[in-house]
Amino acid sequence: MHLSMDGVIGARHCHGLPVKRSVATASFASPSHLRRRLHQAKQGETRQAQRCRRAVQVSATIAEAPVEVQKVSQDGYEVTQESLSESRRRIIVTAPAKHCLKAWRKMIKQARKTVKTPGFRDMKSEVVSLSADAISESIEPELTDEMVQAFDVAKPFTYQLVFDIQPTLRWKQPYQGMKVEVTAVGDDESDRAKVAQEIMQVRKKKGGLKVVQGRGLQLGDAALIDFDAKRSDTGEEFAGAKRRKTHMDTDSADMQFLPGVGEKMIGMKVGESRQIQLTLPDNFEPAPLRGVDVTCTVSVTELFEYDLPELDDDLAEEVAPGSRGVQGLQTQLLRMQNAKTAQDNEEAVDEALMETVVHLAQCDVPYSMVKEMGQQEYQARLHTAQAKREITYEQVMQLATAESLENWTQKNLEMLQGLIKRQMAFEHIFAAEGLTLSDAEIQQEYDEAARDFIEQKQEFDADRLREQATEMLKAPKIIKWLRDNCEITMLPARA
């Protein structure tokens, strides 16, 4: 009888039973964001070693009832493989007493060569932890005290390993020809409104502020406010939402704070506080917060109105030399906004295609893969936040703990599972549709990534960096194939 061990995640050779190392779990980014993805390539402890400790567990506990059991005996060993779930297996190994004694004698022989104690000849002192060493001859995972206590050279020794295997990908329906509907991010009308708002911001910067007297807040005003936001269902505070005496321009409050805040503040006077109920829109980022009800507490401490300069040709020329007046400035800004909207719409299509692929892909994602993906994403977000000066190095060190990582992973479990399914689905499509990468493409991507590390005087793992370069190049090719072979319907932008 043959025990199938293909695709084992993070296990090692155990008593001659060969197992494969894990699959890579780096997520595919949207093609438009590929350059912004942080390369997770560092020297030191390898990912393979980390996987081995995380994914293989030595345990004496009984798991849920297995759905399949296979047994085999060879050279006195008894090996049982149990299927605990679609992607989780357990192997129970009983080593005969003769092999336990053999391992013990080998460790005694090695210890005689190395252990010395003053006043004794070699190996005249007690040899510490020889039981553990003898067991570890055959077992790589961490040993428990119970296992060491149970080891007896005169008796058979039984231990078990629980591990995850590469999950099987299935499709709810064929991805070929899938239909995707995408709501446009913007159109010509919204572009013109954004240009008008941009010109207004220029006028505000050129103008001044006057203290408001005798009225409440109006759209177009500025204010100093205290702001706080919490989830209405759990009371959990939004990270970074609490602000004190911060400047707010009501025309940009939706971007600066939360969508809808500015309109809900209309009429507020200096010294007034108000609780505002909002529901985050379905295009809000990050995506897990879409549709979440939010309770905002806002207090106005000062209120201002703008003293705006006239928009004339002189101002237009000052803002954009060579624009040839107000009309030329508006045309130039509209052309730039049209290009940005077109790019945003392309990104929206890419995101919709990837979300649909994840929806169609089905697999039992093992938690060991989720943990690894969580570690990669968490580290990347910490580094990105530090690079943007949103948090300090000291704060990164405070957040870079196993407890913080596990908490973040649990809160983002669905998102991480989606990233893994997307990666598996993309790998399947890349292979099934015969997509390829040239050596020149991979080398160019690698060289550019390596140059960034060298310029920043940071060390990196060359093999891991090349692997990531390959992963990053696959995504645009897969997205292009999906665009060419799927039905995409573009819906009008929301008003």
Instruction: Give residue-wise pLDDT tens across range 406-448.
Output: 999 998 999 999 999 999 999 999 999 999 999 999 999 999 9
CA pair distance 457, 444, nearest whole angstrom: 20
- Average pLDDT value over all residues in the chain: 78
Strands 487-491 and 273-279: unpaired
Sign of the Cα pseudo-torsion (393, 398, 400, 405, in order)? negative
The 3-state secondary structure of 386-424, one letter per residue: HHCCCCCHHHHHHHCCHHHHHHHHHHCHHHHHHHHHHHH
Instruction: Give residue-wise pLDDT tens across range 180-227.
Output: 999 998 999 999 999 998 888 888 888 889 999 889 999 989 999 999
**Would you state the pLDDT for residue 368?**
87
Counting beta carbons within 10 angstroms of the beta carbon of residue 257, is it exposed (0 to 12), middle (13 to 18) or buried (19 or more)?
Answer: buried
Q: Work out the angle at residue 234's Cα, subtended by the Cα atoms of residues 233 and 237, and round it to the nearest 5 degrees.
A: 115
Q: For residue 404, what are the contacts with CB-CB under 8 A and spacing of at least 6?
A: 378
Instruction: Give residue-wise pLDDT tens across range 303-361.
Output: 999 998 888 888 888 878 888 888 888 889 999 999 999 999 999 999 999 999 999 99
Q: What band does 172 get if pLDDT is binned at 50, 70 and 90? A: very high
Sign of the Cα pseudo-torsion (172, 176, 182, 185, in order)? positive
**Would you state the pLDDT for residue 143?**
59
CA pair distance 455, 492, nearest whole angstrom: 44
- Kindly report the length of the chain: 495
Q: What band does 42 get if pLDDT is binned at 50, 70 and 90? A: very low
**Would you state the pLDDT for residue 142?**
53
Lowest mean pLDDT among 33-42, 243-252, 462-471, 484-493: 33-42
Structure tokens at 185: 């991010």
**Would you state the pLDDT for residue 2?**
33
